[in-house]
Structures are given as structure tokens and as C-alpha cells.
Amino acid sequence: MPLRIDVITIFPDYFAPLQLSLMGKAQQSGLVTIAIHDLREFTSDRHRSVDDTPYGGGAGMVMTPEPWGQAIDAVVTDQSTLIVPTPAGKLFSQPVAAELAHSTHLIFACGRYEGIDQRVVEYYRPRIDVRELSIGDYVLAGGDVATLAMIEASVRLVPGVLGNPESLVEESHQLPGVEYPSYTKPPTWRGLDVPEVLLSGHHDQIARWRAEQSTIRTTHNRPDLLPGS
């Protein structure tokens, strides 16, 4: 049963990259189906409006609930998980990507402006799994880039999408800490040599060196990922 993904957005063109590379191959192989829906197709006024002023005042505009209700109703089933990207969401992570990779149907609601009327989340929460997710502690202009990131991180974990599942084992955020540095040909580049141990053929020594490099890199770049931190 392929993973079905429906993306609802006012900027469908943001999702053209999903036809390329690994994501494109995943769709061609039938492991994943991705459909992009223009929210404005679900409006009923001649201006195809999707936003209005916020109750309680404040800057910016808020996305009105009805177009979202119409759009989500058009694709939702009792197997759906509704993902709402938002700066206020729980942090998206590799474990969350793995959960999403094993879902049946994902609906991504890509908001813009100051976000989507909260009643959309409130309406669907008693009916299906609803997850408000953030990809990090910085503010984007909308949910589209976050959705692209979450789709890519999740779809690459769908069994069969990656040619060599081995490559999933040693990558950052799978193992504790970050991954070791990588090198390839030429053995010397602009006077810089590849670490000798990697050319030695001594697999135990290489494994030990890589573990040391992972710890050094984690300590320097992501001490928060060190065991016991």
C-alpha cells in the first residue's frame, strides 16, 4: 500500500521539486503518491480570498477556516493524519519522520500570513490524527518550505525508496550524535590529504577513527546530542 500524501497550499509551484531526484523516483516506483491542491480552488467568492483580519486585533491576516474545511474534506479519510506546520508546533525530528514514513495517508496544510484559523485544527482533532509540527526555532513566511522538508525527510525512510538502506544506519540523527566526516577521491586535493587511516584498509581502525570523529564533531557542533546531556 503506497504512502499517499496530499498537500494543500496557495503556492502549488513551491512543490515542483518533488518531481525531481529521489522524491520523483519514489513516485514513479509507486511507493509514494503525492498530490498538490491549490487552496483557492476551494473558495467560493469571486476574489478567491483565503484570509481576513484577526479577531482580537494584531498585525497581519489570518487564513479563514472554510476553504481549509472544503479542501481537507475533499481528501480526508479515517486513515488520514493532518500535519499543520506552525512555529508553535512540536519539533519535527528523525523519529517523527520515521513515524510519518509508516503512515497510510498524510495531509499537509501549508498556511501563510499569520497562520490558519485554529478552529481547523479543533474541528479535525476529534476525527483524525492531527499534528502541529515545527521544523525549527526560526520563523518562515509560511508552511510550504517546512512541508517540503518534512516530506523529504519522511519519504526517504519509506522502505524501498533508498536504494541502499545501509546508508540510513550511520547518518546523523539516526545514531546518537552526528556522523563522521566523509572523503572521496582524489587522495590529495589542493595540498590537503585524506586521513591516512581511511586508505589503510584496516576496517577496525577505520571504525574506531570514525567513532572518535563523530564524538569530536558532536561535542563541537551539537553537545546537546551527547549521551547524558
Ligand X SMILES: N#Cc1c(-c2ccc3ccn(Cc4cccnc4)c3c2)n[nH]c1N
Binding site for ligand X (CB under 6 A): 85-87, 89, 111-112, 114-115, 134-136, 138-143, 146
- Does 111 carry a binding-site annotation? yes
- CB-wise, 7 or 198, nearer to ligand X? 7
Q: Are 51 and 113 in contact (CB under 8 A)?
A: yes
Report strand pairing: 105-109 vs 188-189.
unpaired
CB of 132 to ligand X, least distance (A): 9
Q: Would you give the end-to-end CA distance of the chain in angstroms?
A: 40
CB of 207 to ligand X, least distance (A): 36
Cell of 32: 509514494
- CB-wise, 147 or 214, nearer to ligand X? 147
- Does 135 carry a binding-site annotation? yes
- CB-wise, 43 or 86, nearer to ligand X? 86
CB of 174 to ligand X, least distance (A): 22
Instruction: Indicate if the alpha-carbon torsion angle 109, 113, 114, 118 is positive or negative.
Output: negative
- Does 138 carry a binding-site annotation? yes
Spell out the residues 6+ positions from residue 182 whose beta carbon is closer than 8 angstroms to its own: none
- Does 39 carry a binding-site annotation? no
Distances in Å between the Cα of 178 and the Cα atoms of 155, 159, 210, 220, 224 are: 21, 23, 11, 10, 11
- Does 199 carry a binding-site annotation? no
CB of 73 to ligand X, least distance (A): 21
Q: Quick check: helix, strand or coil at residue 106?
A: strand
User: Phi first, then psi: what are they for 149, rounded to 5°?
Assistant: -65, -45
Q: CA angle 24-29-30, nearest 5°?
A: 100
- CB-wise, 27 or 147, nearer to ligand X? 147
CB of 7 to ligand X, least distance (A): 13
- CB-wise, 115 or 177, nearer to ligand X? 115
> Which residues belong to the annotated binding site for S-adenosyl-L-methionine?
111, 135-140
